[in-house]
Amino acid sequence: MTFPRTRLSSISLTNFRNYASASVQFDGSLNLILGRNGQGKTNLAEAIYYLLRRKSPRTSSAQELISLDKDFFFIKGALFAETGEYSLEAGCARSGDKTYKVNGKKAGPGRVRAAGLRASYISLEDTGIITGSPSARREFFDDILVQRSDEYAYNLSQYEKALARRNLSLKMTRQGKRGYDPGLWDSPCAKYGSRVMAAREALCAEMGPLLSEYITVFSKGASLGISYEPSIAAPADPGARGENILENIFLKYLQDNKENDIIRGLTEAGPHRDDMAFLYNGKDARKFASQGETRMVVLCLKSSEITLLGGFAGAGPVIIMDDFMLELDAPNKRRFLEFVRGRGQLFICGVDETAVGFKAFEEGKKFLIENAEITI
């Protein structure tokens, strides 16, 4: 799989978090964003990610990004890619109305992917991928797959719509309301859900060798593996879990469990309940990994994400690191920086150069942020 090389050359913010107004020109390779806590480093990183991905890595509510006492926020940026030059615009009003444009025209997710907009956001909170609920792991996988494939994005969207309608029908039927038949949504759920499960299974298989390789870089002598845990009983051999087989198994499950689902008012199993296990030295990292081991797993996951999004060819995503280096020891700071540099345009946020692993900054650009004022 190949990706176009992309670079964000500039960004301007209006009423975004603590920024009333700001404009910045970026280096195409390396950008160091420094400042004390609470000055606006993370907010700038968040704005970059939002512009590229149409969502925040920190909140599901775009209204939260609007500055206090303001009615909207607006972000504008310029992107250079092998596929062309793009003007990007993103905004949200206090009412919740959102706008997103590419070259002045309203753009959906498909056009965003066509422009090659990919981003990897790395922060201290990423340990939640391991220690958090299954939804955090599903979101991590889905985020990679959506950036790689229009087909996957479509299948996931269609599954979520069909699931919502089936769940509504289940609730209405439980309440004795007429005119609702959950069975009408069994086939769409099975059709699109099986495609989602098959794609996640394939991504696990693709990611496995990368995790095995990268763990030897960050934690010598350790091993790291991954397995997909579907919530519906499927053939033990992953090679036997083709879309058609999964679709038939899922459809039969929905049909056989219809009455139980009515009692609960929701669909008990499916891609929305699946999980992934990370095996650190043969043990489930979700249960047994220490804090230090969890950070090593996250390093490997994020390294794999960058590679899977094109970083293997220097055409990787925009890589945004928000204070991620704080809890890494000096050797692993150096190893991770050596890994990410050259794999995509890099933004590194930290209190100072030492905190992010740089004692000297001889290339790229360095930005200092104080009270939402950005200086070079």
Q: Which helix (H) or strand (E) holds 100?
A: strand 98-102
Q: Alpha helix (H) ranges present in the chain?
A: 41-53, 109-114, 128-131, 134-148, 150-174, 186-218, 243-256, 258-264, 285-288, 291-308, 330-340
Position 313 scores a pLDDT of 47
Exposed, middle or buried: residue 282 (CB in 10 Å: 0-12, 13-18, 19+)?
A: exposed
Pairing between strand 6-16 and 72-81?
antiparallel
DSSP 27: -
Which of 53-57, 76-80, 113-117, 350-354 comes out lowest in average pLDDT?
113-117
Position 110 scores a pLDDT of 63
Position 234 scores a pLDDT of 72
- Mean pLDDT over 297-318 rounds to 84
Q: Which domains does the chain have, with CATH numbers?
A: 1-118+312-376 (3.40.50.300)
Q: Which residues contact 109 (CB under 8 A, 6 or more apart)?
A: 54, 146, 150, 153
- Residues paired with 275 in a beta bridge: 229
Which of 65-74, 171-180, 228-237, 317-326 comes out lowest in average pLDDT?
228-237
pLDDT digits (tens, 9 = 90+) for 261-293: 999 999 999 999 999 999 999 999 999 999 999
When the pLDDT of each residue in the chain is averaged and rounded to a whole number, the result is 90
Position 188 scores a pLDDT of 98
Position 175 scores a pLDDT of 95
Position 329 scores a pLDDT of 87
Position 114 scores a pLDDT of 57
Report residue 360's pLDDT band, with 50, 70 and 90 as the boundaries.
very low
Predicted TM-score of the model (pTM):
0.91
Query: Phi and psi of 372, rounded to 5°?
Result: 65, 15
pLDDT digits (tens, 9 = 90+) for 89-129: 999 999 999 999 999 998 876 666 656 678 999 999 999 99
Cα–chain-centroid distance for residue 16?
21
pLDDT digits (tens, 9 = 90+) for 150-188: 899 999 999 999 999 999 999 999 999 999 999 999 999
d(CA 206, CA 246): 19
Q: Provide, rounded to the nearest whole percent, the portion of the chain with pLDDT above 90.
A: 75
Return the axis-axis angle of helices 150-174 and 134-148, rounded to nearest 10°. Answer: 140
- Specify the higher pLDDT residue, 196 or 334: 196
Q: Which residues contact 240 (CB under 8 A, 6 or more apart)?
A: none
Strand 84-93's sheet: what is its strand order?
Answer: 19-25, 6-16, 72-81, 84-93, 98-102, 105-106
d(CA 123, CA 133): 17
- Mean pLDDT over 322-327 rounds to 85
Position 359 scores a pLDDT of 54
